[in-house]
Amino acid sequence: MFRASRDFVTLSLDGSREVDSKLDNDRAVTIDSQVDHYIARPTTEQFEDLTLLQFIQKYRIPKRVGDGLIQRRKNVVVICRPYFSPDPSGSHYEQYCKQKLMMYQPFRQLEQLLEGVDNYAAAYSLFLQSGASPPSLADDIHRLEAMERTDCATNLEEEQVAEESNQIVSSTVQDWMLLCQHTPQFLNLVDEKRHVDWSLAAKTYENLDKMPHFIAQHRQFYVPQHTNTVADPERLQGNQLHAYNIVREHFENGSSCKQPLRMIVSGTAGTGKSYLIQCLKRLLGNGLRVAAPTGGFPSKEILKSSRATAFETSKNHWQL
């Protein structure tokens, strides 16, 4: 390329320096880097608030520190080396943050970039949140916000898992714990961290070898007792009450010309169909026969008969 509208400058931020082609007493020496010139810049107000990026873009760097600075005539494209990934979860994110702080924050010593924190990643996060960062760092702000959202979601999920684990542990009650709760001398020992001679206490109980399993055995042979709920028409409501009134009005109509009542009451489980049937049985008394096509629950508990027994027929005489 013979001519260009911009100058391209490579900026080394890892402390490396070029080797001077001249020898000083047969010993190779290095040339001061751009960072060295920036740190040694004049202390006037014109230079004090300049960032390293602005300093490189505005002035040509002489060979030796202290030589006069020459202002550039062309725009400059600065290429930073070495390259580090901007991914906040990457292994080199600390070095990336250090480079960005050196480029966009005025400093005389690198320690000034930390701003009282322990690492460059934290200092860069504070810089991005301060509102002083240039628009060119908008992508870094978005990456940091996305990482914080991910961390919050992860922490919340871990807290939920820990809470569920604690609930599982707390809900696991062993048989000996139940025994202690119902034994007067052990009531205060369940939650206390004190030594108990359980072998001595065990000698006071006979057939102790059978006790660890007695709760499980009782649970195995326990038969739940079903309580019969007394049907009360006053407790019907909504469609239940509407269906009940239709049957009651038809039943109380003494006209000899009335037509048979044919009505279907449908609904999903738990909508109160069985309770409605109990109320109708209480209303109609012996004038009502109840049957069901199957013998399962709740048929056995509420209807108390199958279709065969209700009409005193066998399966061979069923006609559908």
Predicted model pTM: 0.46
- Residues 32, 131 within the same domain: yes
Total number of domains in the chain: 3
Q: Is residue 148 part of a domain?
A: no
pLDDT score for 319: 47
Residue 115's pLDDT is what? Answer: 80
Q: Residue 28's pLDDT is what? A: 53
Task: Tell me if 103 sits within 8 A of 113, measured CB to CB.
Answer: no
Please check whether residue 192 lies inside any domain of the structure.
yes
Residue 129 lies in a domain: yes
d(CA 279, CA 282): 5
Q: What's the CA gap between 159 and 138, in Å, rounded?
A: 32
Cβ(38)–Cβ(55) under 8 Å?
yes
Give the span between the Cα atoms of 281 and 303, in whole angstroms.
10
Q: How far apart are CA 69 and CA 85, in angstroms?
A: 33
Antiparallel, parallel or unpaired: β 19-24 and 27-30 = antiparallel
Please check whether residue 57 is in contact with residue 70, taking contact to mean a CB–CB distance below 8 angstroms. no
Has residue 124 been placed in a domain? Answer: yes
Q: Which residues of the chain have pLDDT under 70?
A: 1-4, 19-28, 166-203, 205-214, 224-229, 293-320
Same domain, 79 and 131: yes
Q: What tens digit of pLDDT does each residue of 181-190 get?
A: 666 555 555 4
Cα Dmax for the chain: 136
Do 267 and 242 form a contact (C-beta atoms < 8 A)?
Answer: no
- In angstroms, rounded to a whole number, what is the distance separating the alpha carbons of residues 107 and 98? 12
Same domain for 15 and 81, yes or no, is yes
**Residue 127: inside a domain:** yes
Q: Give the C-alpha separation, 32 to 63, whole Å.
A: 7
Task: Give the end of a domain, one of 135, 167, 199.
Answer: 135
Taking CA 8 as the corner, what is the angle to CA 5 and CA 14, rounded to the nearest 5 degrees? Answer: 165
Q: Looking at the structure, do residues 200 and 241 belong to the same domain, yes or no? A: no
> In the prediction, which pLDDT does 306 show?
45
pLDDT for res 120: 92
Check residue 320 and give its pLDDT. Answer: 40
Neighbours of 140 (CB within 10 A): 19
Rounded CA-CA distance 7/76 in Å is 5
Range of the domain at 190: 180-221
Averaged pLDDT score across all residues of the chain? 76
Residues 212 and 309 in one domain: no
Closest listed residue to residue 60, CA positions, set 73, 47, 52, 71: 71
**Quick one: angle between helices 273-284 and 239-252, nearest 10?**
20
Residue 151: inside a domain: no
Q: Identity (one letter) of the amino acid at 37?
A: H
119 and 29 share one domain: yes
Q: Is residue 304 part of a domain?
A: yes
Angle at 73 between CA 67 and CA 78, to 5 degrees: 80
How far from the centroid of its chain's Cα atoms is residue 143's Cα?
20
Closest CA to 50 of 38, 60, 62: 38
Residue 277, H or E segment: helix 273-284
Dihedral sign from CA coordinates of 31, 36, 42, 45: positive
> What pLDDT is stored for residue 36 in this prediction?
87
